[in-house]
Amino acid sequence: MKQFLLLHSLAMLLAFSIQTNAQTNTLFILDGSGSMWQKLDNEFRIATAKTVMKGLVDKMPADARAGLIAYGHNRKSDCDDIETLMPLGPLDKTAFKAKLEAINPQGKTPIAKSIQHALDLIKHEQSAVTVVLVSDGLETCEGDACELVRQARAQGVQITVHVVGFGIEENDLSALECIAQAGGGQYFPANNASELAGALDQTLEETPQNGGYLSIKATLDGEPLDASLKVFKKGEKKETAVARTYTGPLTNPRLLLLPAGEYRAEVMAIRIDGSPTQVLADLKITENDTLRKLVDFSQGIFEVLAKRNGELSDVTVQVFPAGEKKAVAAGRTYRHAKSNPASYKVVPGVYDVELKFIEIAGDPILRFENQVLESGKTISLSHDHPSAELKIGAKQGASLVDAGVAIFSKTTGKEVDRGRTYMSDRSNPKSFIVEPGLYKIEVKAIKPADLGTKTFELEVKAKETVERWGEW
């Protein structure tokens, strides 16, 4: 299944480069380094790449113009092993596929030199060229491909550069993201079919050449923060673009070229517990302009005040990223003014805050859901929970009886609490703090054991104390 998704992802990327550039040229740079012999889902990476590209060639229109460069396929340790297998020009499908089939990966990964090779190849082109780099790893030779692309575009070279990372496992792919950013294109991880397909579907509907830029800088306490970005056209669920900021200045802020229109963006902090996410809504991209956004993940505060019948109450508190089950902060309020209200610092995001009233039988829970916490802000939450007191005793005549007491909610039928009276006036009657409501009470004698069980019902209201005895 993963193999199918990977083939599908690469096919969509390459199809995108053709369909959106009907009046331009498409130049492919294919990784022929030794690592392409590694397997991905029981298939050699080079075999997958060949299959995808051959299938694509068969679908290309008769008047298509395309070219093919490969690196690392002739010699094992030569950073100059870069070859134009098909010059940019009218596509000879048979020859193109034959060149693809002949590639035998064995060398290094000279990405920067391959980009320079491509720039030299297209320097006399009068129309725009789309360059599609397919690589399964990072640079292993010298050079700065990102800067090469940036300088070329600054000098007026009409290129758009897209990069597909082919099964790359490195954590920091900022060098490849930077190439795509500098080239006005996108970076697509080939092992993420859903994000790639979503981004390409949106791009096919409206090309970004007549659009503007969205610049997103992610920070934590003033320092660059590694964050993933998803950009959606307003009202749509599929991503228009996906990217990552990393922490370096080349990609943070992350610059994305988008068609003019209205968008929202989701910015997720990657290396912070709970992966908090901030949402940027109502983003308006205008032609030939840049919209700059700073997304700061410096902490905000949840302040929780818990009361019971007007008095401070001991409550456990958990703070969850909205919809998740793993808390990012937790604690107790206790019944002291020094700790109640309790404060919890967390990074900005959308949270559910759960209060469990442990002083009340059944530990009733209250949730404040979808609380949007902003950087440096405080959200104050408070709740005063009503309760009542049940005092249940057991006696035989004038003598106290040691008995077990079980309390059931008449509404749900569930047991909410149980206890034991013993034969001491300090615990008999036994006190229970409950929510207001109707209850069924069972009092079962333990000593003497032959007395049996007494059952009765009680209704209690807020702040009320009701005493009742099981009598034999």
Residues 335 and 434 occupy one common structural domain: no
Residues 254 and 361 occupy one common structural domain: no
3-state secondary structure of 131: strand
Number of domains in the chain: 4
- Partner residues linked to 241 by β-bridges: 231
DSSP states of 312-341 as a string?
E--EEEEEEETT-SS-SEEEE-TTSTTTSS
Please give the pLDDT value at position 21. 43
Residues 229 and 146 occupy one common structural domain: no
Amino acid at 35: S
Which tokens sit at 130?
Answer: 């789309």
Please give the pLDDT value at position 223. 92
CA distance 17 to 19: 6
To which residue do tokens 């929202």 refer?
A: 264
Cβ proximity of 153 and 183 under 8 Å:
yes
Closest CA to 96 of 124, 72, 129, 60: 60
Residues 119 and 228 occupy one common structural domain: no
10-residue averages of pLDDT along the chain (472 residues): 45 46 72 87 80 75 87 92 94 92 93 96 87 88 95 92 81 90 83 34 42 93 92 91 91 92 94 84 93 92 97 97 92 96 92 97 96 92 97 96 97 95 96 97 95 95 96 96
Residues 344 and 315 occupy one common structural domain: yes
Instruction: Choose one of 353, 385, 417: the last residue of a domain.
Output: 385
Please give the pLDDT value at position 191. 59
Instruction: Choose one of 264, 297, 330: the last residue of a domain.
Output: 297
Q: Domain residues for 282? A: 207-297
How buried is 401 (Cβ within 10 angstroms: 0-12 exposed, 13-18 middle, 19+ buried)?
buried
To which residue do tokens 């036994």 refer?
A: 430
Instruction: Choose one of 360, 385, 410: the last residue of a domain.
Output: 385
Residues 367 and 403 occupy one common structural domain: no
Q: How do 261-269 and 378-385 pair as beta strands?
A: unpaired
Q: How do 465-471 and 453-460 pair as beta strands?
A: unpaired
Residues 332 and 357 occupy one common structural domain: yes
Residues 331 and 466 occupy one common structural domain: no
Distances in whole angstroms, Cα of residue 400 to Cα of each of 200, 299, 395:
79, 57, 4
Q: What is the CATH classification number for the domain harbouring 425?
A: 2.60.40.10
Please give the pLDDT value at position 8. 46
Please give the pLDDT value at position 201. 31
